[in-house]
Chains A and B, each alone.
Chain A
């Protein structure tokens, strides 16, 4: 199926400011390398982060956390803690009996555990005291009587019959949290058509987000209004949870997301400490703050799921994929979090880069007694992307086809539908591939032992097509206030460091013909700003950006109209730009409009269009109004004597749609490369008997600035018909191909396959040893466990594309 861009979108290709006809009409602010609007404050230390908040009379909150991975709570006695001088209040589970969670279908978390604890770090009590040392001392006085239960420590253990009892009481089979089983097209027939079929088993270890800023929240309860400042990525989620658990109307709760020292998905979920400080503020009548330690951040987690993968692909002799069967098993940790979505994501985007005619996906998420996994940059996609790309490298080897050519032959074409119903629009997949291969001289690379290059591609969403809770409201809303006081954009979007405030200011300035500094941005305050669903799934530039353009265009029309009617000209003759509207200055135009209409404010909103997904159960995860495409080549040296890997350079070509600000875009690519190298070579959220190995930033290894290789970023503009001025995303996509490209480059350098990340020096040596002894030269999981997946729901091609 293929149709031109026009058939796919309401907006004209390349529409410039004001929706001008000319494609790419001259931009004045968009595309310029301007510094971020909050940059100076951040580098001079002026920014007030959540933990910088100090209020008169403020109390410090510390959570008492479980030292056991799995235990029943027989009793909690806080008497001694309550009578410690300086302690104002101690909460236990009776004070907060209502459960919560980020998704309506997984409300399985308690603020404070009542009957059992499920991981080391599960909160049991919350203390408010005059200062942190007193609160910590009080925690030591709380007596918790635990009955220790057997620990479930791995995917394999979670698949066994529980020794004592399942971690959660409501699972159908043992510790299996969730299944997904879907089949698109006739997979058996697809395999029958294949000349060659290959199977691989791979593993991707879990990792923490490691945002520089630890989570922190401060609450005030005054009158009957609760205000919470928190380093959250999704104030809307926290708002809903506070209202539910504290039984306060939404209108009595205000959540303000403070400037961030990084999120990466680790601050999307609502957390126990956020609810605890709110409740403590209500109970004590004093402001209450809780700032987590680094160790607690590792326990809060919601990071990358460890995923075990099995993939089977059939292909013709000349490398055309005929069918694919992909299985995943996710180690979810103790609670659900967004794990249902994660599970779907481990199967959803394989088809976004390769035209797979028949596709079967079976996924299972299990509960274990470890910190809860959730969304981390790429949310459920980096793991299968790693598995898929390594698998295709091997398939190319089997068929003696160049790995780039094998992929190119199967590339998804722009403006098509995938077999699982994803609507693909603009795509620079061909172009990013050509550019990255050329820039890295991949085809002409030298091949001495120890030096290698690896290549991979990927696709990612520009915002989830559906909200976390079912509703038909906009995904992002913007109010624009223009008057004698200036121009202010109000939007619920949260700048977590990715630069979304800068993007909003850029887009509004562009539409109104102003300099970017003329636009004030107020964001992420549920009491002041209209709703935005949050900073996740690379949705903010796309969705809040479109909402901002919508509001700004309406404002522009009002101003143009005011100026035109005064001069008796047609609106079309009024030029907007350089700080003026037609013949008059912007300020004068505003005065004219205010005279004519009173207060002027406009609003805009964005919801993804209908018809971007198929119609089947589970079709809600994966679709997006647009996709980005990335290709990467990693160049490295691997030491055959030590197994150590040194990355020399990473080449990333990314289809950005349109560059709104090259500084921000490159920053996101750099950050993505950093994160990918960490996951490929070092990071391990790993445990020994349920206890995190190393919840410390010195022992948990991640690359530092001085470890970073050179990065060459190549940006390809495809001007997406749905995106704000054609822009797409860059927050997550560019990290995806880097991980498999590292592993592929190690194979190129030394001839061994490390089918699991992180690749450590001893794994490389083990593989080399094995090969020296005549073995296959591979380190990775031996087998994929037997998982009692339910029968696949068969989705016919018609249903997959039903909503077209």
Chain B
């Protein structure tokens, strides 16, 4: 059986105390919310933090508020299942929940959190393996080694951004609330991420994501399409989040964000722009989807073949655009 390494487990009383604990332990501490991503990685010795700072129990991070306008604030410690069951959220934020619903399995959604999902580690077939396996082939860049097994000549890591909710949150124009030693800040979700498979989060090591803020829909319609081998459990191998705003038949706003085809959620404004200002006819959709697929650069480090994934971006963008358009 794979067993966890030895670590100390801290239970702060508030998010501020959590940031303090992170600061106290320097790089040796890590936040843990539901643990569904972190703990398996620790069992495989991908990470071996000496200290875990737990935040899942903090009431301050479990708030879930939906304003009359439809804007929502989800505490980072809210579980994905709690979000799915929330009546007002279901009413006001169906797009976000569409992405939540396809995260993993029911059991993992019961434990996994809104914040943990946004901060979920990037993935790679050469990295998400046991220590024995990785030592047989030699440790790669993301594990402190010198080479990347996927792109040998590359100076960086190309591990894949695999969050389902991140592309959707970005498409919806959501923001994230962060608590740090110097107080709170609110940033667009997109700016949580760096285009680097190894250092994939742009947060300071002492910062805690406290909440996700989803704006009121105000007529925006959205859809999420996800490809994976098994609809029961798997991470995305390509996904597309689309948010559209229509003025009569004319598109007057569009955001398209791709998941699992880069090391960060990949917004493709040049594809979205091909839809804005015109009607949603087959031609326009085809052009936009083609442009999105052109920009996607999947590599051979997830399940299923990477040429297939690249090609499928066109199909899922097209489907997501049509689906979003068809929604009231």
Contacts and interface: CB of A to CB of B under 8 A. Distances in A.
Interface in A453-507: none
A431 to B, nearest CB: 35
Given A695-B133, A696-B129, A765 B229 contact: no
A132 B230 contact: no
A601 interface: no
A762 B310 CA distance: 11
Contacts of B311: 765
A132 B312 contact: no
Interface in B297-328: 303-305, 307-308, 311-312, 315
A691 B227 CA distance: 27
B180 to A, nearest CB: 33
Contacts of B232: 703-707
Contacts of B308: 643, 761-762, 765
B327 to A, nearest CB: 21
Given A133-B3, A762-B304, A642 B135 contact: no
A693 B125 contact: yes
Interface in A81-128: 120
Contacts of A120: 136
Nearest to A702: B230
B137 A701 contact: no
Most buried by A among B135, B136, B312: B136
Contacts of B63: none
B1 interface: yes
A696 B136 contact: no
A641 B125 contact: no
A42 interface: no
A291 interface: yes
Contacts of A701: 229-230, 234, 303
A444 B328 CA distance: 39
B11 to A, nearest CB: 25
Contacts of A644: 227
A694 interface: yes
B137 A691 contact: yes
Contacts of A132: 1, 3
Interface string A628-643: 0000000000000111
B128 A642 contact: no
Given A696-B130, A706-B105, A691 B136 contact: yes
Given A67-B136, A642-B312, A761 B230 contact: no
A120 B135 CA distance: 12
A65 interface: yes
Contacts of B184: none
A641 B133 contact: no
B136 A704 contact: no
Chain B binding surface SS class: loop
A694 B130 CA distance: 10
B13 to A, nearest CB: 32
A295 B135 CA distance: 13
B1 A295 contact: no
A67 B135 contact: yes
B218 interface: no
Nearest to B316: A642
Contacts of B133: 295, 691-692, 695
Interface in A650-700: 682, 691-696, 698-699
B230 A704 contact: yes
Contacts of B135: 67
A630 to B, nearest CB: 26
A507 B253 CA distance: 72
B3 A699 contact: no
Interface string B269-304: 000000000000000000000000000000000011
Chain A binding surface SS class: loop
Contact of B227 (A642, A694, A706): A642
Nearest to B319: A641
B187 interface: no
A643 B231 CA distance: 15
Interface in B201-259: 227, 229-234
Interface string A219-250: 00000000000000000000000000000000
Chain B contact patch, size range: 20 to 34
Contacts of B91: none
A529 interface: no
Contacts of B234: 701
A67 B137 CA distance: 8
A695 B137 CA distance: 13
A214 B311 CA distance: 38
A796 interface: no
A707 B135 CA distance: 34
Nearest to A140: B135
A793 interface: no
A410 interface: no
B128 A696 contact: yes
B182 interface: no
Contacts of A765: 308, 311
Nearest to B126: A688
Interface in A701-730: 701, 703-707
Given A65-B132, A132-B3, A682 B229 contact: yes
Nearest to A139: B132
A293 interface: yes
Given A67-B136, A704-B233, A706-B232, A699 B303 contact: yes
Nearest to A703: B230
Given A295-B130, A641-B315, A761-B304, A707 B125 contact: no
Nearest to B231: A707
A703 B231 CA distance: 9
Contacts of A65: 132
Interface string A758-772: 001110010000000
Contacts of B304: 760-762
Contacts of B303: 699, 701
Nearest to B305: A762
A293 B43 CA distance: 12
A291 B1 contact: yes
Contact of A642 (B3, B129, B315): B315
Interface in B18-39: none
Contacts of B125: 693-694, 699
Interface string B111-139: 00000000000000100111011011100
A633 B44 CA distance: 41
Interface in A29-52: 51
Contacts of A707: 230-232
B109 to A, nearest CB: 12
Most buried by A among B130, B133, B307: B133
Contacts of A291: 1
B62 to A, nearest CB: 28
Contacts of A698: 128, 233
Nearest to A133: B3
Given A701-B303, A704-B230, A293 B136 contact: no
B17 to A, nearest CB: 31
A143 to B, nearest CB: 14
B305 A706 contact: no
B42 to A, nearest CB: 14
Contacts of B132: 65, 67, 295
Contacts of A695: 129-130, 133
12 contacts: A51-B1, A120-B136, A291-B1, A295-B132, A644-B227, A682-B229, A694-B129, A698-B128, A703-B230, A704-B233, A706-B233, A762-B308
5 interchain residue pairs of minimum CB distance: A706-B232, A762-B308, A67-B136, A704-B232, A762-B305
Given A691-B136, A699-B125, A762-B304, 18 more contacts: A65-B132, A291-B1, A295-B133, A642-B312, A643-B308, A692-B133, A695-B129, A696-B129, A696-B130, A699-B128, A704-B230, A704-B232, A704-B233, A707-B230, A707-B232, A761-B304, A761-B308, A765-B311
Interface of A: 51, 65, 67-68, 120, 132-133, 214, 291, 293-295, 641-644, 682, 691-696, 698-699, 701, 703-707, 760-762, 765
